[in-house]
Amino acid sequence: MTRTREAATDTEALLQAQSGVLERIAGGVPLPDVLTEVATTLERLMPGCHCSILLLDRESSTLRHGAAPSLPATYSSRIDGLAIGRDEGSCGAAAYLGTPVVAEDVTTDPRWIRYRDLAGAHGLRACWSTPIRGRAGVVGTFAVYHERTHQPTSRERDLVDRLTHLASVAIDHHALFGALADSEERFRRAFDDNAIGMAITAADGAVTRTNEALRDLLGRSEHELTGIRLAELFTPVTAPDAPYEATLRHPDGRTLDVVVSVSPVAGPDGVPVRLIANVLDVTQRRAAERERQARHEADVARRAAERASRAKTDFVAALGHELRTPLQAVTGFTELLGSLDLPPERRQAALEHITGAAGHILAMVDDVLDVARIEARALPLHPVDIDVPAVVAEVLSLLEPLADAEGVHLRDESGPAALHGDERRLKQILLNLAGNAVRYNRTGGTVVLTTRTEPAAVVITVADSGRGIAPEHLDRLFTPFDRLGADSGEGVGLGLPLAKGLAEAMGGGLAVESTPGRGTTVAVTLPR
């Protein structure tokens, strides 16, 4: 009957302790006060004992003071910072091993060698320590001291087990809500003190809170901004993704460039409950970028103008050279015809030389005029149905004398192909491309013309085995009058630009691939 009455009393006391501790936890009472309540409860239920609760510091692997309502203060201060280990007293060993450790007599227990004098000086003879387990494992120890040798009874073990659990609840709650409070404080500092403008909004984008940086950026107070939606503050310049560029109008009249990044904060069900917006002022950066871009464009334009000027200078020199030879022929043979009475055959030969020279001059003038018409988008075209292989054969026939003189072999590998376009302009394109392929070839080299029909186009390729084009010259191939450093005996720099312009005027295009030392392939694509 006595044991039953004692058990009922213990249960009632434990329930009262549990209610009191949970109320203190809910009321936000500091952890040391809550743990003192737990220790005091056991001391009431076990008269003559002294309780101590130590907290594990994982970083230093030491035990720190938590609560010790009846232990001498000097003793508590001496064991504050106790290292954990097999031979570090009852508490150090219990925390290290994760199991209860009972030292019935600290004067003989080997685990108390370093602490028995300290315990004896404060009248402590026995110590029983139980590890406190929380969510993260062992979080501390619950120790029961006696002033005489003592072995815990089953009732005492049961009481300690229950109060140890209550202590673990308090410690876990403190860790959880302490971390939450710490996180909230860090967020508050990061939000309020951030140099970047920040706003917290409701799920619909209505502003609920702003930091000082954003208020300064917008030139408005917290009261003025509360309730305004983000979309009303900024004018997006790019798609409103995260992040996006926008502008805002400052009350002083300035237009500012900003980058806005909006991140959702989800609730327990995963549905966004609020938004956090970061607003970075990039006005000066954008102004600097625009200035750099303007300088770059001005520099590009200057270099282009200089290149065009050099090209035109080269063109004048080349054209002068190209014209001088046929003009000298015209002048010479004209004087010959005027001063001498020539036999009919020599007179006919002189007239043929004059006709050939004049034709050469006229062809150069026509090329210059065609380039000008292409640039002015005024090139006349006369589309007809074209048998492409027939044009290829005619072009190769016209180039045979030049190819023979240069020691270059011509090959026609064109297959059946037809398109609707200007036959004269197609012939002009192929004469320019194939003529270049012959002139810039090598003795014994080849020039191959092929055709390929695609669903919507005909592709004509001119491939040579010549010297190729240096990579640094590829971006200058289609600049009129730019002869890529060639000497004055190699044309006026109109062949490729003219061919490309004619192809584009017919709705097609022209592409060049070249490998120095291995040759060049030019592909002309024209719509069918």
Give tens-digit pLDDT for 16-60: 777 777 788 777 788 999 999 999 999 988 999 999 999 999 999
- Please state the φ and ψ torsions of residue 411, each to the nearest 5 degrees: -130, 135
- 186 belongs to a structural domain: no
Q: Flag the least confident range among 61-65, 321-325, 458-462.
A: 321-325
162 and 56 within one domain: yes
Domain identity same for 334 and 441: no
- Gap between the Cα atoms of 27 and 523, Å rounded: 84
Is residue 199 located within the same domain as residue 307?
A: no
Q: Residue 67: exposed, middle, or buried by beta-carbon count in 10 A (0-12, 13-18, 19+)?
A: buried
Helical segments of 407-490, H only: 423-439
Domain boundary (374, 397, 416) is at 374
The lowest-confidence range among 97-101, 280-284, 352-356, 423-427 is 352-356
What are 104-114's pLDDT values in tens digits?
999 999 999 99
Helices 344-375 and 283-339 meet at what angle, rounded to 10?
A: 160
Q: Write the CATH number for 20.
A: 3.30.450.40
| Mean pLDDT of the 226-235 span | 88
Q: Quick one: 213 and 140 in the same domain? A: no
User: Residue 76: what pLDDT?
Assistant: 94
Whether 262 and 336 share a structural domain: no
The predicted structure's pLDDT at residue 362: 65
The two structure tokens encoding residue 271 = 């549905």
Asked whether residue 478 carries a pLDDT value surpassing 80, the answer given is no
CB 462 within 8 A of CB 514: no
CATH code, domain carrying 367: 1.10.287.130
- The answer to whether 213 touches 199, Cβ cutoff 8 Å, is no
Q: What is the DSSP letter of 471?
A: G
- Identify whether 334 is part of a domain: yes
Give the residue from 181, 208, 242 where a domain finishes: 181
Residue-level pLDDT at 142: 96
Residue 193 predicted with pLDDT over 90 = no
From CA 469, how far away is CA 472, in angstroms rounded? 8
Angle between helix 495-505 and helix 344-375 axes, rounded to 10 deg: 60
The chain-wide mean pLDDT, for the chain, equals 84
Same domain, 130 and 257: no
- Of 236, 270, 286, which marks where a domain is finished? 286
The whole-number pLDDT of residue 101 equals: 95
* Beta carbons of 140 and 53 less than 8 angstroms apart: yes
Q: Which residue has the higher pLDDT, 290 or 476?
A: 290
**322/465 same-domain check:** no
**Could you check whether the bond before residue 243 is cis, i.e. omega within 30 degrees of 0?**
yes
Ramachandran area for residue 377 (φ above 0: left; ψ -120 to 50: alpha; else beta): left
| pLDDT for residue 370 | 67
Structural domain of 408: 383-527
pLDDT at 489 over 50: no
Domain presence at residue 188: no
* pLDDT category of residue 321 using cuts at 50, 70 and 90: low
Same domain, 421 and 469: yes
Mean pLDDT of all residues in 172-184 = 75
Phi, psi of 45 (to 5 degrees): -80, -20
Tell me the Ramachandran region of residue 137: left when phi exceeds 0, alpha when psi lies from -120 to 50, beta otherwise. Answer: left
Our count of domains for the chain comes to 4
Q: How far apart are CA 125 and CA 131, in angstroms?
A: 20
Q: Residue 188: phi, psi to the nearest 5?
A: -60, -45
322, 358: one domain: yes
Q: Are residues 206 and 148 in the same domain?
A: no
pLDDT at 63: 95
Please tell me whether residues 61 and 176 are part of one structural domain: yes
How many CA within 13 A on the CB side of residue 54?
31
Mean pLDDT, residues 411-436:
90
The answer to whether position 387 is within a domain reads yes
Contact status, residue 437 vs residue 449, Cβ threshold 8 Å? no
Q: What CATH number does the domain containing 211 carry? A: 3.30.450.20
Nearest to 96 by CA among 125, 61, 65, 51: 61
What per-residue confidence (pLDDT) applies to 300?
A: 87
Model confidence at 239, pLDDT cuts 50, 70, 90, reads confident
- Residue 141's pLDDT is what? 96
Residues 314 and 354 in one domain: yes
What average pLDDT does range 334-340 have in this prediction?
65
Greatest mean pLDDT range, 1-5, 250-254, 321-325: 250-254
The verdict on residue 478 lying in a domain is: yes
- Range of weakest confidence among 106-120, 295-309, 331-345, 408-422: 331-345
Number of H helices, E strands in the chain: 14, 19
What is the share, in percent, of the chain residues with pLDDT greater than 70? 84
> Considering the domain boundaries, does residue 45 fall inside one?
yes
Kindly indicate the confidence band of residue 1, based on its pLDDT and cuts at 50, 70 and 90: very low
Considering the domain boundaries, does residue 82 fall inside one? yes
Identify which has the larger pLDDT, 149 or 186.
149
Domain assignment present for 497:
yes
